[in-house]
Chain A
Amino acid sequence: NAGVTQTPKFQVLKTGQSMTLQCAQDMNHNSMYWYRQDPGMGLRLIYYSASEGTTDKGEVPNGYNVSRLNKREFSLRLESAAPSQTSVYFCASSEVRLGRATDTQYFGPGTRLTVL
């Protein structure tokens, strides 16, 4: 049971390049999330997927797109990377049970992205 996994661990891009960050969980969780973490700003929600087949914007969605490929996988795409997107990206998942949408979120190890 690996929990939440993310690839790659590190990435350097040039401005304008595109890339996809991958996330997978093996806990059979319904909901998945993408956060970015910047110094002094905590974690901010980019997009989330409450269940397979649905996605919604979070606090800072501009410049990103997501795909909930299946129940296990949730990817984050940067179409045209900008230096402002230099950050550490965390994926998380949680189990949402009927009538209780406040369960623990489990985080992946993170992807450290630098955009030059």
Chain B
Amino acid sequence: GENVEQHPSTLSVQEGDSAVIKCTYSDSASNYFPWYKQELGKRPQLIIDIRSNVGEKKDQRIAVTLNKTAKHFSLHITETQPEDSAVYFCAASIESGGGNKLTFGTGTQLKVEL
């Protein structure tokens, strides 16, 4: 099955700096790569996703890049703010003839310090 590795497990940045979180996946058939943000005690919420037919996608201060050849994808957050502090999860999806079986990374605890 699919295996997703995520690094780093913790990341501390100064407010205004950029943060980068990296993930690798094992199954070349994966074609959907979402990123979720989870605040303490809350549910995971989608912040951005990318499909395998594009290499980069941007939404305001958040961007995701995908390298299919190397089987890795990254989340970039620019001009970080204290409200960006949370756990971020990457995931990859394998087609299963129905449904969307996501395999998640183990998460990155991002702390934005004032």
Chain A contact residues, CB within 8 Å of chain B: 30-31, 33, 40-45, 48-51, 54, 56, 58-59, 90, 94, 96, 101-110
- Given known contacts A33-B99, A56-B96, is B104 in contact with A43 (CB within 8 Å)? yes
Assess whether A42 is in contact with B107, with CB atoms less than 8 Å apart: yes
B78 to chain A, nearest CB (A): 23
Inter-subunit contact A101/B96 (CB<8 Å): yes
Which chain A residues lie closer than 8 Å to B32 at the CB level? Answer: 102
A31 B99 Cβ-Cβ under 8 A: yes
A105 and B97 in contact, given A42-B107, A43-B89, A90-B43 (Cβ under 8 angstroms)? no
Tell me the B residues contacting A by CB distance below 8 Å: 1, 6, 9, 31-32, 34, 42-46, 49, 51, 89, 93, 95-107
Cα distance A49–B93 in the bound complex, in angstroms? 15
- Chain A interface SS verdict (over half): loop
Besides A33-B102, A56-B96, 4 more A-B contacts (Cβ < 8 Å) are A101-B100, A102-B93, A104-B34, A107-B45
